[in-house]
Structure 1
Amino acid sequence: MTIFFFIYAQGSNHFANLFRDSELEFQPLTFVVVAIIGFYIGFIFWNFGVERFIFKQNHFLNNDFSGLMKIQKPSFSFLDVDSERTSGLVSFSALNILLLIFITTYNYEQFFEVTKSADSLSAETHERVNDVIMSIIMAILVILFYFKKGFNFDDKAKSLKISAKIWIVLNAVLVISASLKNSEYIVNYGLTYKRLGVYGFLTMALIGLFFTFIKIQKKKTNSFLFNQMFWACYGLILVCSYINWGGIITSNNIKRKDFAENYHLVSINYNEQILLDYAEKNGNSEMKNQLEERIESYQKESFLSKILYYEFIKIKKEKS
């Protein structure tokens, strides 16, 4: 329904105007009644009315192999099991050598070549991080292909497993190299949302490699990896939502000699308290007035639109 609402709003100005100036009033009793009805309907549907299709497909999401899936069968009719095992070993061995060469050249370009400007350093950093992430995605896909079924229980596949684990470790080294480069970039030019986002993507990449290693070590299904990554991604987003990244960015950059006041005033969120203290310390009355007006406007919002950050500023101001 929400998707259709936005589609219709984009397609008709009159439809959008019907809701543009509307205001919501919070009614506690109505909210409680609607919440109870919603939870009741949700409980009835998911516990007593789950579609049979979902039950039939549920076994594909198991973390552990069933008895039949442990039997090794060739992936292709023209390639027997021994040949497939050998091809996997040759492929991972060649890829390990290739990745070692790539890590060497990658680190040389990152840490030993002189970069001319901030723009070129930014472009190189993001381009190389993208390459690292794509490399890891491809690495995990290859591992999922070879360890989707019987090779997990094949006694003759020990060399194949060792080669795959080495590849995972090398990819982890690649992630650490990219993190160091991003850290160097931050030290030279300060924090931004995008530079913090790079750490987020690299963290997810490391988590993916970790669970891929566990999948091979503990003989888990491919679904295990997707299940764990789903929860890891959800957990990471949940944890990050509790952190005031704008405050962290401003607190870090405000110590720099090249601190850009206008950039942090316009482009960074939830840093008004830090900038207010900065403006008072430096006697910048124009910035102080602008910040106070912004804070006051947020504090005047209706109950459903209030932001706790600005309420805490209000409490702090009253106490002082």
Structure 2
Amino acid sequence: MKKIILFIAALIFSTLFYGKSIGLNLSLFSILTLVILIINNKENFKIKRTLIYSAMYLATGIAVFFHDSTLAIIANIVSFFTLIGLLSEHKASIYVNWLNGLYTTIAGFFHRNYTVNEATQTVESKKEIDYLHIVKIVIIPAAIVIVFIGLYQNGNPIFNELIEKIDFSFINIQWLLFAGLGYYLFANIHKPIEVEPATSQDLKTGNLLFKTKDFSIPVLKQENQLGIILIALLNVLIVIFLITDITFIITNEEVRGSVFSNQVHSGINALIASIVIAIIILLYVFRGNLNFYKENKTVKYLAFTWIILNAILVLSIAVKNSQYIYYFGLTYKRIGVLVYLILTLTGLITTLIKIDKTKNIWYLFRSNTKAAFVVLVIAAMVNWDYHITNYNFNYAKSMDINYLIDLSDNNTFLLKKNSESKTLNTDIQKRIQIKYENYCIELYTNSWQELQYNNFKLKLK
């Protein structure tokens, strides 16, 4: 029964994707994948975490239908691997989920059915398969039937004419091969597997830090002194920088584009790098037994202060970036800076928790990779091209209209609307009209597998 379900899923897979671009088909594939996984892993879908990740995977698939963006497609693929890996071991870290999901997708079938004999260094089947019997029931009958067809053709002209009229041109070999690829994919993922020893090692590794055998009071006293001096100096330095930085923001309400460009592109990159280095320094200082040294309160308080000051630095960078957006409009790079700042702030918060609760570095990996995944999924839900265009036309003091035209087709209808209501030069209007006409042609020629939300918007126009 399960093989029949996989066979049907493979035919649907080929119908959805063979010779088609991405659109409604990826949303339907997400639903199909969930159906296959639920049928074969019913117990796992009673777990809350599995339901949450399933919803995130389905949401990214639906996002592709509403705005066929590269980010949404990437988020859908990552969510796919995450869900597959989660089903292999729901207690594993998210990066182990990715590893298990990727491995299952590529080699799940072979992992379940074959094993490597270390003694003979050969690949052996886990199941006894009678290949000779398969040859007997498939190849031999087919060969004999072909021979008799040839004989009967020579012996009966009417039978010969009937055979010659049989047309097999309707059979698309490439479509069948694509269906075979679909069957292989579903055969791999229907029962997710674990990569060992990565999964078991991850399960054994907790989030807490423990005192080691080389605990030495004299050594820790020196480390504590070094930490106090280093972090105290860095606190003084960052306070001075923040004062000058905030002064710059307050006293420069109207600034030239060149000044902002230097502040954003050069200054912000340097500041973000400094925050990352700050986190690395704290991880080094609190890497081991200093966490259990009774006289470490001062260095801890200094570390907490430095983390808070770095968080204020993140906010000052966000203000600069927002000012840049206000004057010169939204772009993907400026949105990327804000996303990077969110992840950096998350890193600072988790570093503070690590120091306060005596967590290890694995806690940081687990919490921050999970945060990055959530941010990716949330970002995929937004039609950025539309919102960039809408903001720049209505709120930005100046904008690069050529940049907006070069964005994906997700902003085409909005560009067309603004070209009709706002004063634009003739060349820009022509470019927008060409983009609009080309996109309309693409939408009109979409098959049902390639349908997008904009297909329905176009019909309503």
TM-score by length of 1: 0.77
2:306 corresponds to 1:162: no
Q: Is the 8 A contact 1:72 1:154 kept in 2?
A: no
Q: Distance in 1 between matches of 2:232 and 2:213?
A: 22
2:201 corresponds to 1:51: no
Deviation at 1:195, TM superposition (A): 1.1
Amino acid at match of 1:39: I
Q: Is the 8 A contact 2:311 2:348 kept in 1?
A: yes
Query: Which ranges of structure 2 fall in alignment gaps of 5 or more residues?
Result: 1-17, 26-174
Q: Distance in 1 between matches of 2:223 and 2:355?
A: 17
Deviation at 1:29, TM superposition (A): 6.0
Q: Is the 8 A contact 2:329 2:397 kept in 1?
A: no
Deviation at 1:287, TM superposition (A): 5.2
Q: Which residue of the partner structure matches residue 70 of structure 1? A: 211
Deviation at 1:111, TM superposition (A): 4.0
Q: Which residue of the partner structure matches residue 247 of structure 1? A: 386
Amino acid at match of 1:85: N
Q: Distance in 2 between matches of 1:175 and 1:295?
A: 40
Larger Rg: 2
Amino acid at match of 1:34: Y
Q: Is the 8 A contact 2:227 2:299 kept in 1?
A: yes
Deviation at 1:63, TM superposition (A): 1.1
Q: Distance in 2 between matches of 1:125 and 1:62?
A: 40
Deviation at 1:296, TM superposition (A): 2.5
Q: Which residue of the partner structure matches residue 294 of structure 1? A: 438
Q: Distance in 2 between matches of 1:34 and 1:120?
A: 56
Q: Distance in 2 between matches of 1:174 and 1:275?
A: 37
Q: Distance in 2 between matches of 1:222 and 1:162?
A: 20
Q: Which residue of the partner structure matches residue 19 of structure 2? A: 24
Q: Distance in 2 between matches of 1:129 and 1:263?
A: 22
Q: Which residue of the partner structure matches residue 122 of structure 1? A: 261
The 1:114/1:252 distance shift into structure 2, 3 A limit, reads: closer
Q: Distance in 2 between matches of 1:261 and 1:230?
A: 36
Residue in structure 1 matching 2:403, options 260, 263, 274:
263
The 1:288/1:114 distance shift into structure 2, 3 A limit, reads: closer
Query: Which ranges of structure 1 fall in alignment gaps of 5 or more residues?
Result: 1-22
Q: Distance in 2 between matches of 1:150 and 1:97?
A: 26
Q: Distance in 1 between matches of 2:448 and 2:179?
A: 15
2:215 corresponds to 1:37: no
Residue in structure 1 matching 2:418, options 278, 285, 291:
278
**Equivalent residue runs for 1:95-174 within 5 Å:** 95-112=234-251, 117-174=256-313
Corresponding residue SS for 1:155: coil
Q: Which residue of the partner structure matches residue 93 of structure 2? A: none
Deviation at 1:58, TM superposition (A): 3.3
Deviation at 1:57, TM superposition (A): 4.8
Kindly report the root-mean-square deviation, in angstroms, between the aligned alpha carbons of the 2 structures: 3.1
**Number of equivalences:** 283
